Structure 1
């Protein structure tokens, strides 16, 4: 099978999109939700991690680095490194989105309030996480307090 960066990018995007759709369509009371959340929050991020490491192994060392914006730009000019970077985003955003769904359900937040945050996390990662924290601050402010053992 051809492991070109473009092909890996397309397959990873397709899998991630299906996972996000499944996550959004899985409210807490649905009997399939725990299964979906195991896939979206554990199995797929780990699978993406394997692909990420493989892409780095195949396309490293690349020009550039992480010391300046110019170095990062040079690094991402290499298609394989760019695909690895994109898969990095897919893995972590999906992990965070699943955490939002799990934590929101545990807090008793209605799923319809979480779906826009899942979309925001899918499209803009940290903005969805921020939205979830703001929703918790409005709806369940006590959930943001540090546990006594965590404050020590």
Structure 2
């Protein structure tokens, strides 16, 4: 179950990023990214987390790892959770959803501030690979460049 869900979430995220970077910025592609990309990833995250918390799905611990205590939010508790297939897939889906949402926000913000698509691509690629790093770069670029262009 977890392997299939992992592959599905990766496919959804990759399709969303490909649309975001390569497709024209028109309402339909942006809507697809938001709802079939971000929305679907959020739905998978919530459903998988709820299934594990309700005991409907086994997080399948890695051989030799302790079963995770889902109420322990200490570093040790999170380590035990992420030593399970379910914990990895749920955590990964969380990252995929938020990184894609962040990329969508960056793209819309960059469009509104008049940034060329070619200038957006490196920031979006960095956000795809390392979400917070891409966001940090965008936050450092957006206001000074927008002010030079006379946009806020």
TM-score normalised by the chain length of structure 2: 0.80
**Backbone CA RMSD of aligned residues:** 1.8
Aligned length: 136
Partner of 1:52: 45
- 1:123 deviation in Å? 0.8
SS at match of 1:140: helix
Q: Give the Cα–Cα distance (whole angstroms) in 2 for the partners of residues 66 and 137 of structure 1.
A: 41
Q: Indicate which of 21, 24, 38 corresponds to 1:24.
A: 21
TM-score normalised by the chain length of structure 1: 0.80
Partner of 1:73: 79
- 1:27 deviation in Å? 4.5
Partner of 1:107: 113
Contact 2:114 2:146 in 1 (8 A): no
Matches within 5 A, 1:58-137: 58-60=51-53, 63-64=68-69, 65=71, 67-137=73-143
Contact 1:41 1:99 in 2 (8 A): no
